[in-house]
Amino acid sequence: MPQRLHLVFGGELVDPTKNAFKNVEDIHIVGIYPDYATAFNAWKAEAQRTVDNAHMRYFIAHLHRLRDEELAASPTEELG
């Protein structure tokens, strides 16, 4: 069974109704987690810590979905 890795990251958005970061260099990488439950707990902690800033958003990215080892060429390899 493949690992189900999850990346938790966030930062300040240009507009709180969009998902564009104000400064990509300032994105906060919280960490990579082995399961969704652990990633969710990390996401929740950061979201609660920054609740007073309406422009701050944290996200969970499903890293295991970026590469499918069963396919001959995954979408990430095709970007080349």
Model pLDDT for residues 17-57, shown as the tens digit of each residue: 999 999 999 999 999 999 999 999 999 999 999 999 999 99
Answer yes or no: is pLDDT of 65 > 60: yes
More confident of the two residues 51 and 72: 51
Which pLDDT belongs to residue 68? Answer: 64
- Indicate if the pLDDT at residue 80 is higher than 50: no
Q: What pLDDT is attached to residue 26? A: 95
Residue pair 32/42 in contact (Cβ under 8 Å)? The answer is no
Phi and psi (nearest 5°) for 44? -60, -40
Q: What is the pTM of this model?
A: 0.78
